[in-house]
Amino acid sequence: MNCRKLFCAFYLRQKNYRVIEIYFKDYVHHNFKPPTEREIELLIQTLHRENADIIGLSVRAGGYYRMASELTRILKADFDVPVIWGGMHVTMDPENSLASCDGVMIGESEATICELMEALENSRPLTEIKGLWYKDKDNRIIRNPLRPLLENLDDLPFRDFHSHEYKYSIDGNTVKRGDPYSDQTGYLMMSARGCLFNCAYCDVSALRKVYAGLGKFYRACSPQRVIEECLYAKKQFPKLRRFRFDDELFCMNDGYLEEFCRLYQEKVRLPFEILTDPRVVRAERLQKLKQAGLDTIMMGIQNIGRINSKYYNRHVGDEQVIAAAEAIHKVNIKPCYQILLDDPHVGEDDNRELFELLLKLPRPFDLYLFSLSYWPRTDITERYIADGSIRPEDVEGHNDKCLKQFRVDLTWPRDKNRTFWYSLYTLLSKPVPLCIVKAIAESRWLRAHPEPVRMLAQLLNFLKLAELAWQMLIRGELTWNTIKRWVNLDSLAIS
């Protein structure tokens, strides 16, 4: 579990609180291992040495829930201090989360944690702290109302990457002092919160329910504030080579883009990448972004129009997807298309139709193949439980599939039909002549015996991984941390 910046450390440090950040276990792609006894021992020793009087865990996804529960049990046996949880999973499933800890912070918690610390410091009651649920002395659950959404994101401080003396990382049975991300070459940042759309499989559909009536859901930082954070990151990370804006949807307002592109090109001057949606892609917008430095764009396709509309609340036709892909190709920006697989409602004909849709997209392109995860309270989770497509134990939090199969790994056990088509999708993103891919698609024998196709796809995945590593090395973007987190030869998910 990565207990990362639950308390918005700089926010608290501005209030003169001493905050210790412990990065406990690092995420490793499809190969995340639970903490060892030695790592837990090191965590306890570090907390004792720093004399912790409140412990916070960030439970950022349901796959970490059981691990967080066990770790909390161990910590509470050794420390007589409150253990508070926050994070995305807690916001979507506060009741079950609170069964394992003393309190949970729901939603945007920058102000919540500050008010909690002030209340504990001054022995004031916790009943007025919005966004906090906790157990009282009689073990009753107190459910305070949520606080309204923050209207102006410019009011938030930057993430604190400079207070190295207050940071530790524990992994590989060792503890190290300092920020473990100090050598990063790519800076992951958010320039907005929320999303304009409401896709049924996304955690956004759960968050919209949580935040209903509490303010404007989609908000973006001003272009000036975004540029200030970029300049801060360049100062903190001497090896920095690129930015990735990890917003659900990068702001495509034309006036916003005009100002952002002008400032970024003038002051930042590094390559960057964004996430977008076919419904907002326009060639003229892409051209402005490219001139500013955009070199990679990730766009959600998810599935064919019928599946998107019927199950995912994504009213995007196939022709709209093709038009967006052609606009990206025309501007000559590297496209990475996101596809959502392993849906129980998708059959043989749907898989073939998706293959035919991908055939129509201009090459080259990369594919990010994702396995459908069922997050608590999302629209698709509630719908599929109701119609019997999935069981309650399939929901993240009851299992940890997202740690093992968030991105599709072709070695994961699947039926022959899915193995065949998923392997074919992978071939489409490689320099394999289309005539060969089409011939494979028409082979009845290979559909009945897909293992040779899967092996070919895996071989090409391996070669692509080597090529990607070489390109990153040339650009100065390859670090040991990058290798450790993403290279898992037993479970390649490069497409």
Q: Judge if 403 and 475 occupy the same domain.
A: no
**Range from 325-334, 339-348, 477-486 carrying the lowest mean pLDDT:** 477-486
Q: From CA 26, how far away is CA 481, in angstroms rounded?
A: 9
Average pLDDT over residues 152-157: 91
Average pLDDT over residues 234-248: 93
The DSSP letter of residue 423 is H
Q: Judge if 400 and 438 occupy the same domain.
A: no
For the chain, what is the mean pLDDT?
Answer: 91
Q: Is residue 177 part of a domain?
A: no
Q: Is residue 399 part of a domain?
A: yes
pLDDT at 155 over 80: yes
pLDDT at 298 over 80: yes
Of the candidates 121, 143, 171, which is a domain's last residue? 171
User: What pLDDT does residue 2 have?
Assistant: 34
Q: Is residue 271 part of a domain?
A: yes
Q: Judge if 339 and 235 occupy the same domain.
A: yes
Q: What is the CATH number of the domain that holds 99?
A: 3.40.50
Of the candidates 408, 423, 445, which is a domain's last residue? 408
Q: From CA 30, how far away is CA 305, in angstroms rounded?
A: 30
Q: Is residue 2 part of a domain?
A: no
Q: Regarding beta strands 294-302 and 334-341, do their DSSP bridges make them parallel or antiparallel, or are they unpaired? A: parallel
Q: Is residue 393 part of a domain?
A: yes
Residues of the domain holding 436: 409-495
Q: Is residue 337 part of a domain?
A: yes
Q: From CA 353, how far away is CA 361, in angstroms rounded?
A: 13
Q: Judge if 245 and 368 occupy the same domain.
A: yes
Instruction: Output the pTM of the full model.
Output: 0.91
User: What pLDDT does residue 5 have?
Assistant: 45
Candidates 101, 107, 96, 152; CA nearest to 8 is 107
Q: Judge if 364 and 422 occupy the same domain.
A: no
Q: Is residue 484 part of a domain?
A: yes
Q: Judge if 243 and 353 occupy the same domain.
A: yes
**Range from 94-98, 221-225, 463-467 carrying the lowest mean pLDDT:** 463-467
User: What pLDDT does residue 28 have?
Assistant: 61
For 290-337, give the secondary structure using H, E and C.
HHHCEEEEEEEEECCHHHHHHHCCCCCCHHHHHHHHHHHHHHCCEEEE
The DSSP letter of residue 238 is T
Q: Could you read off the pLDDT of 354-392 as tens digits, one per residue?
A: 999 999 999 999 999 999 999 999 999 999 999 999 999
pLDDT-derived band at 62, boundaries 50, 70, 90: confident
* Element holding 85 (H helix, E strand): strand 83-86
Q: Judge if 269 and 418 occupy the same domain.
A: no
pLDDT at 30 over 80: no
Q: Regarding beta strands 174-177 and 167-171, do their DSSP bridges make them parallel or antiparallel, or are they unpaired? A: antiparallel
Q: Judge if 385 and 483 occupy the same domain.
A: no
User: What pLDDT does residue 400 have?
Assistant: 83
User: What pLDDT does residue 491 have?
Assistant: 52
pLDDT-derived band at 95, boundaries 50, 70, 90: very high
Q: Could you read off the pLDDT of 186-223 as tens digits, one per residue?
A: 999 999 999 999 999 999 999 999 999 999 999 999 99
Q: Judge if 358 and 315 occupy the same domain.
A: yes
Q: What is the CATH number of the domain that holds 349?
A: 3.20.20.70
Q: Judge if 93 and 212 occupy the same domain.
A: no
- Cα 270 from chain centroid? 23
Q: Is residue 492 part of a domain?
A: yes
User: What pLDDT does residue 401 have?
Assistant: 86
By CB atoms closer than 10 A (0-12, 13-18, 19+), residue 59 is buried
Tell me the two tokens of residue 77: 């046996």
Candidates 347, 329, 280, 42; CA nearest to 169 is 42
pLDDT at 479 over 80: no
pLDDT-derived band at 327, boundaries 50, 70, 90: very high
Average pLDDT over residues 283-288: 96
Q: Could you read off the pLDDT of 6-28 as tens digits, one per residue?
A: 346 777 888 888 899 999 987 66
Of the candidates 171, 202, 233, which is a domain's last residue? 171
Tell me the two tokens of residue 209: 């329910």
What's the Cα-to-Cα distance from 470 to each of 99, 135, 405, 457, 466, rounded to whole Å? 47, 53, 26, 20, 6
- Give the count of domains, the chain: 3
Q: Judge if 269 and 199 occupy the same domain.
A: yes
Q: Judge if 440 and 361 occupy the same domain.
A: no
